[in-house]
Amino acid sequence: MDGNGRWAAKRFMPRGVGHKAGVDSLVNVVKACSDRGIPYLTVFAFSSENWKRPEEEVSGLMSLLIVALSKHLIKLRSDGVRIRVVGDVAQVSDKVRQALADAERQTAENSRLVLTVAFNYGGRWDIVQACRKALDAGVRSDAMTEEVLSDFMAMSYAPDPDLFIRTGGEVRLSNFLLWQSAYAELYFTDCLWPDFDSSELDKALHEYARRERRFGGVNVDPSESRGAV
């Protein structure tokens, strides 16, 4: 969800205003995905590299997360959205960690759409933590397969993403879902995240629908995907 800061700068506003606008965009996109029958949506809310940003901005992002959950959680819960969190949350404050845990707990029974929030997350971190868990579980080297390691990844509960969307004009993965996105269709747009609405989502979905998915072998109809974004 890239481009919040640039969106604000274009309007001569503080970056924090852009992040707030980004939250509103996220809420709208969650609803749009739910309305379109997409069962899984994963968003990169805070990367392990984001700690390098100015302390004031990082602090503002943490506070914004707590405020956003307080403001939108009831509506998300009533709309059937289940919130799950992946990432090294042990590194964040007790207050933030509690807010994330409460969101997971209060929506645990929902199933219309699983909204995974990647927070203090990195794709390389995910692979390393999966290897450590596998070793702790006693998995032998000769028993290690892709399928076995996948069971230890942070998002083992969800299908691999079919469509990877990045806004803001950047064309790279930036350490997001490196393992899971091996065969995802990549879609990059210059649209800044606060401007990404249902019509922009439909553009991405239409582009996805016209592609032939081969997975290294035979073609696969995009309509047969599991609907993970």
Residue-wise pLDDT tens for the chain (229 aa)? Answer: 999 999 999 999 999 999 999 999 999 999 999 999 999 999 999 888 888 888 888 888 999 999 999 999 999 999 999 999 999 998 889 999 999 999 999 999 999 999 999 999 999 999 999 999 999 999 999 999 999 999 999 999 999 999 999 999 999 999 999 999 999 999 999 999 999 999 999 999 999 999 988 776 656 666 666 677 7
What pTM does this model have? Answer: 0.91
Q: Which residues are catalytic?
A: 2, 50
pLDDT of residue 223: 62
Domain residue spans in the chain? 4-210
pLDDT of residue 42: 98
Q: What is the largest CA-CA distance in the chain?
A: 58
pLDDT of residue 88: 94
User: Do 193 and 5 form a contact (C-beta atoms < 8 A)?
Assistant: no
Instruction: Report CA torsion sign: 45, 1, 173, 58.
Output: negative
Where do the DSSP E strands lie in 48-176? 81-86, 113-121, 163-166
Helices 15-35 + 55-78 axis angle, to 10: 30
Nearest CA to 85 out of 37, 54, 120, 51 is that of 120
Strands 40-47 and 81-86 come out as: unpaired
> In the CATH scheme, what is the code of domain 4-210?
3.40.1180.10
Residue matched to tokens 């747009």: 189
Q: Give DSSP secondary structure letters for 158-197.
A: SPPPSEEEE-TT--S-TTSSTTTTTTPEEEE-S--GGG--
DSSP 140: -
For residue 163, the cross-strand partners are: 185
